[in-house]
Structure 1
């Protein structure tokens, strides 16, 4: 008879397993209940977004960026618009930068709340799920006030934003920031010192700092291993150099450290939001660049006003500018890479321009795609039940 330890079992976790939270399949090789190998199989949700970015004009592709990670849509569209602005040499006004930061940090909190809620639910802690979703609903209400949508907002524009924040929206953000730290205390009360949560996450899915760096990890997965790398600090964009905040890091690199990093990051995001509201500058939200920015409506609705401020010649020039923007303005030949600190790690866009109104080549660095490389070393030697906590983290 063959030795029982030589008989391995192959098990598919996903692509419909409720704990994968998306179209992910993991082929797990088991010796009893111990994981010998875990191979992520991706591609079930491949949508060809990069090729779409090469077929559509720079403006037309904005709405497709929302779908790259629908849990933090604003982060994606803002990152893309900043990349095009960097390629075209467009500088957006200070108020626009601050409003983008507010949208980014609200999106980061909303994304981390999904991990806190569903990660706990997957291993049996149902209560915190409802607490986390309570705050997500408030963020969605804010986004609804600002953009008119609860997801897939398409709110960023090359050279600015679709619209300014209303006083009601700013007041809603302020109200959220004033109570959120206390809400995070509630999550920690339910989880951080919970013995079951501790045992299901502590020393599970360990990955050390050198391995994390060699695998190209970023975001909470990298910082959980003790590497204090955050693009908002080390390669600042938008207006992040104007804000005072800390980079939370772990010490062991296990699931618990990655949980604590996300908890602390939500607190730091709230800290940034408060500073952004306090220091929010006035002024315009659009750059004065008629290559990409539509002219104000009031300059187009009439040929001239009573004082002759907008004579017919000037209005015609504005109409021509609008036509060029709508049909797609070209960018001088060149190439650029721009990365931001998204909720899951480094999200980067590489664009090559040939002078036309669309990218000749586009490459998107997705943080989750790279981070999945760490799943196999994290899971090896652990029990099958531990895989759920590892995937969530």
Structure 2
């Protein structure tokens, strides 16, 4: 075994001939939040081991849920992944609706699918912007549409138990259609040559770590809840995900681009089939889920977002456990970073989309 020493970032360059353990973080510019990477690096600056260290941004969301009623829970549910706010709200609303046997109006079901795809498009553009700055134009465009519909720019708070808070504004669907016609992934100029072969996540490791979303599909994990456990609107859309097998940084970025195109297609289909009618149900002042438990899940931008709700028949949940995609996905860094040169680390991390609030939930 080679000798190891621990140094901070930028220190220890004089120690030649020994492996160095470097703490990267906890404030790393590639992350949407604060987490650390503990890297073991050879004298030739090749990573031999990586350990993601989380817990610097612990939000305590699951405990906060237990002392709030179900309407208040939705206010917090969109904050653990601030790029997937609408999808987070939806997962919680679905859990309560299924436990209470609510029949959500058809228009709300289709608007939910439409808004999920717009949310996905917005989130992916955030991660694509460092690789292709003109992606920011698309992000701003879709974010403006989400803000117009919900009134919120980041925390939308548009889902309600039983549907949506209100219908979308007059003319909004036409503006969405006009925006979608401008989205062209060919305009996103990305240097794939600098990404190919870097940070390979094998299919077996992706499965072992429970990696989902575009990162998993880039490694051949053929799983997408929009097809495999679809919400009512998705059942009518005949969705099929794009799956790649290379598992490298280039494949992960290509999967993000593929999903942008798929989201545009799905959003257009939702607009074409959007029915008329109410968007919510009339509810009592206090919502009480019956005693029991239920698990619901949605395909959030970064993967499977699940909610395990346990109730004792009260107006607050007894337990509301979150299964967040970034929590599982970030663990895979320990499998894909060994063998990576330190000089290539920014390129690899730029392809690996996580939101730290979704990890330290």
Query: TM-score, with normalisation over the residues of structure 1?
Result: 0.83
In 2, distance between residues paired with 1:386 and 1:377? 16
| C-alpha deviation, 1:86, in angstroms | 1.3
Conservation of the 8 A alpha-carbon contact between 1:8 and 1:29: yes
Q: Residues 264-283 of structure 1 correspond to what in structure 2 (within 5 A)?
A: 264-283=258-277
1:344-393 per-residue CA deviation (whole Å, 9 max, x = no partner) reads: 01000001010000111111011001011110110001111322233232
In 2, distance between residues paired with 1:142 and 1:238? 23
1:78 corresponds to: 90
In 2, distance between residues paired with 1:56 and 1:372? 29
User: How many residues align structurally?
Assistant: 338
Larger Rg: 1
In 2, distance between residues paired with 1:73 and 1:113? 15
| C-alpha deviation, 1:5, in angstroms | 7.4
Q: Does 1:60 align with 2:72?
A: yes
1:285 corresponds to: 279
1:1-45 per-residue CA deviation (whole Å, 9 max, x = no partner) reads: x98876121222222221233211111111121001111111111
In 2, distance between residues paired with 1:115 and 1:39? 22
2:11 corresponds to: none
In 2, distance between residues paired with 1:210 and 1:377? 10
**Which residue of 13, 18, 22 corresponds with 2:29?**
18
In 1, distance between residues paired with 2:272 and 2:180? 12
**Which residue of 104, 109, 115 corresponds with 1:103?**
115
In 1, distance between residues paired with 2:81 and 2:127? 14
Q: Does 1:178 align with 2:184?
A: no
**Which residue of 342, 366, 370 corresponds with 2:300?**
342
2:144 corresponds to: 141
Conservation of the 8 A alpha-carbon contact between 2:212 and 2:221: no
Structure 1 unaligned regions, length at least 5: 121-127, 294-320
**Which residue of 140, 152, 157 corresponds with 1:154?**
157
Query: TM-score, with normalisation over the residues of structure 2?
Result: 0.90
1:124 corresponds to: none
**Which residue of 233, 238, 242 corresponds with 1:248?**
242
| C-alpha deviation, 1:210, in angstroms | 1.9
**Which residue of 61, 69, 86 corresponds with 2:81?**
69
| C-alpha deviation, 1:81, in angstroms | 0.6
**Which residue of 202, 214, 217 corresponds with 1:220?**
214
Question: Larger deviation: 102-111 or 79-88?
Answer: 79-88
RMSD: 1.6
2:201 corresponds to: 207
Q: Does 1:198 align with 2:207?
A: no
Q: Indicate the structure with greater helix content.
A: 1
Conservation of the 8 A alpha-carbon contact between 2:77 and 2:85: yes
**Which residue of 369, 382, 385 corresponds with 2:343?**
385
1:316 corresponds to: none
| C-alpha deviation, 1:238, in angstroms | 4.1
**Which residue of 84, 88, 109 corresponds with 2:100?**
88
Moved over 3 A (4+): 2-6
Partner-residue secondary structure (3-state), 1:55 = coil
In 1, distance between residues paired with 2:215 and 2:142? 24
Structure 2 unaligned regions, length at least 5: 4-14, 353-361
In 1, distance between residues paired with 2:262 and 2:59? 34
| C-alpha deviation, 1:168, in angstroms | 2.2
| C-alpha deviation, 1:330, in angstroms | 1.5
